[in-house]
Chains A and B, each alone.
Chain A
Amino acid sequence: MSRPAQQPPIDDDTANPKVAASALDFLLIELVPLAQRITERLHAREQALIDEYKRSRIFNRTASKAPAGHKSQTSGDGSNAAEVTVTDGSASAKDSSTSTVTGAEGAQSAGSGDMTSLGFPVMDDSTREGVFFRLDALGYRVGQGLVERFSANKPRPTTPLDAIKFICKDLWILVFRKQIDNLKTNHRGIFVLTDNRFHPLSRMSVDRRAGPRAAEDAIARAQTYLYFPSGVIRGALSGLGIEATVEGSSSEIPTATFQIKTKGAKP
């Protein structure tokens, strides 16, 4: 092995970051459409498999009528398959259009086709959920790694509030280059972090010409950009030994609110 045995030393000079800030921004921006594409493609593939399976079952049923050898077994199977096709009849008819579409077109057509006033496709609920789980899981892993790496020379947080403060101050500066502006807690396990100018949202704007619904549409689209940071918070807290659920939301464009519910919290 030509690799030197000595590991490069960990430096904690957070004022002199080693990754270009813009690169991180682009990565954060690109993550959301990536997750959306993956989810939609998986969705389309799953649908295609289900349809193929159904077709094969129907084919098998008609084919199995000729040989009478496995009469008892096929009759049982046949009734099962019939049930499936009856209950899914409406769904399969509707989804057949998406299932035949594969590859690149799948990304566009698997979405419900609903457009916002700005002409961008809106995700339907199941896609949105898939995107959320994907981004949250990515953020979770990143948060776990970040907390191990950057809490190394910090005092150990002994209370949940200390851990949240670590996130507000240290972690937020590392990832988003500013501190959380406001931290509220009910002292019973619920924390609300508010960032008045959340970095990923700071360059988004609302198209005022598009009418009164434009703000809502913009917030709905910005919402997906809060899933990854929520996951980062959840991962960091889990690294510090706190199980929590994190919900990111935005009421107005550059502002982001993260509600953290630790396990066993009382409202």
Chain B
Amino acid sequence: MEARSPSIAAIGVIGRHNNPLHISLFDATGPGYEHARDKLEYSFMLNSCLDIFEARMPNKTIGHDFGLLHALDERIAMYGWLLNTGVKLVIVVDMEGRPALSPEAGKTAILGLRNSDLTPAFQALQTAYISLLRNPFYVPDDHDPRATKGGASLQIASPRFIKEVERVGKAWYPGTTAI
């Protein structure tokens, strides 16, 4: 069997009131792994992370990094990051998401990820979110279920933000230092 290395399977941005702001899915690549990821399945997965955030929040006061939230099976694991404003970033990692380019890269699928491996990805996402807030056309209250009357979609529609999330999701690999 061909060696596989981890890739990002999904990125979720979740608002302060646990409303989904943006979900990006990234299909696995390589022969035998072509089936598309199911949007509903992944939104359930992201949903399952919220309780873990909630449970860990009281005794975690310093730092954004919530590390590994939970591992679903031997392939799929979820990592979380909480911004000071209550926005949650979740990255779902597929341990066999892409074919390993080198024998070295193939080992991470077996050895597992270090916690710091995802830090650059989270930092890039946080930067993207901050840039989104610096966009005058983005009104944060339009994406807050308590401030809006409902009806309209609360999801982020900014093409630049979505493109940046896509870029982060595709560019990350274990051991990367900057995205």
- B167 partner residues in chain A, CB cutoff 8 A: 5
Closest approach, in angstroms, between the C-beta of B100 and any C-beta of chain A?
25
The smallest C-beta distance from A171 to any residue of chain B, in angstroms, reads: 12
Contacts of B61 in A (CB 8 A): 155-156, 158
Q: Which of B20-39 contact A (CB under 8 A)?
A: none
Return B170 CB to nearest CB of chain A, in Å. 12
Contacting residues of chain B (27-56) with chain A, CB-CB under 8 angstroms: none
> For the complex, is A149 an interface residue (Cβ under 8 Å from B)?
yes
What residues of B have a CB within 8 angstroms of the CB of A144 in the complex? 133, 140
Nearest CB on B from A94, distance (A): 36
Indicate which residue in A5, A9, A151, A158 contacts B85 across the interface (CB closer than 8 Å): A151
Shortest beta-carbon distance from A136 to chain B in Å:
13
**A149, B140: Cα distance in complex, Å:** 14
Q: A10 to B83: give the CA distance in the assembly, Å.
A: 15
* Residues of chain B with a CB closer than 8 A to A154's CB: 84
**Which B residues touch A152, using CB under 8 A?**
83-84, 126, 130
Q: Does A61 contact B (CB under 8 A)?
A: no
Is A157 an interface residue when CB atoms closer than 8 A count as contact?
A: yes
* B126 x A141 contact (CB < 8 A): no
Grouping DSSP codes into helix (H, G, I), strand (E, B) and loop, the A interface class, with mixed when no group exceeds half, is: loop
A79 to B164 Cα, complex, angstroms: 60
The answer to whether the Cβ of A239 comes within 8 Å of any Cβ in the partner chain is yes
Give the residue among A9, A145, A151, A158 with the most B Cβ atoms within 10 A.
A145
**Are A147 and B128 closer than 8 Å at their CB atoms?**
no
A33 at the interface (CB under 8 A from B): no
Q: Report the bound CA distance from A156 to B16 in whole Å.
A: 14
Interface residues of B in 76-126 (CB under 8 A from A): 82-86, 126
User: Across the two chains, which residue of chain A brings its CB closest to B61?
Assistant: A158
Tell me if A241 is interfacial: C-beta within 8 Å of chain B: yes
Interface size of B in residues (CB-CB distance below 8 Å): 23
Tell whether A239 pairs with B85 under 8 Å between CB atoms, given A7-B127, A148-B130.
Answer: yes
Q: Which of B61, B84, B127, B134 has the most CB of A within 10 A?
A: B84
Whether A240 contacts B131 by the Cβ 8 Å rule is no
| Separation of A156 and B127 alpha carbons in the complex (Å) | 17
CA distance A5 to B133 in the complex (A): 19
**Known contacts A7-B131, A10-B127, A241-B16; A148/B83 CB under 8 A:** yes
Q: Is the CB of B129 closer than 8 A to any CB of chain A?
A: yes
Question: A144, A147, A148, A157: which has the most chain B beta carbons within 10 Å?
Answer: A148
How near does chain B come to A192, taking the closest CB pair, in angstroms? 24
Q: How far is the CB of A151 from chain B (nearest CB, A)?
A: 4
A5-B167, A148-B83 given; name 5 further pairs at CB < 8 Å: A148-B84, A151-B85, A154-B84, A157-B84, A158-B58
Query: 23 A–B contact pairs at CB < 8 A?
Result: A5-B167, A9-B127, A10-B127, A141-B139, A141-B140, A144-B133, A147-B84, A148-B83, A148-B85, A148-B133, A149-B134, A151-B83, A152-B83, A152-B126, A154-B84, A156-B62, A156-B64, A156-B84, A239-B140, A240-B84, A240-B85, A240-B86, A241-B85
Chain A residues proximal to chain B, CB less than 8 Å: 5, 7, 9-10, 141, 144-145, 147-149, 151-152, 154-158, 239-241
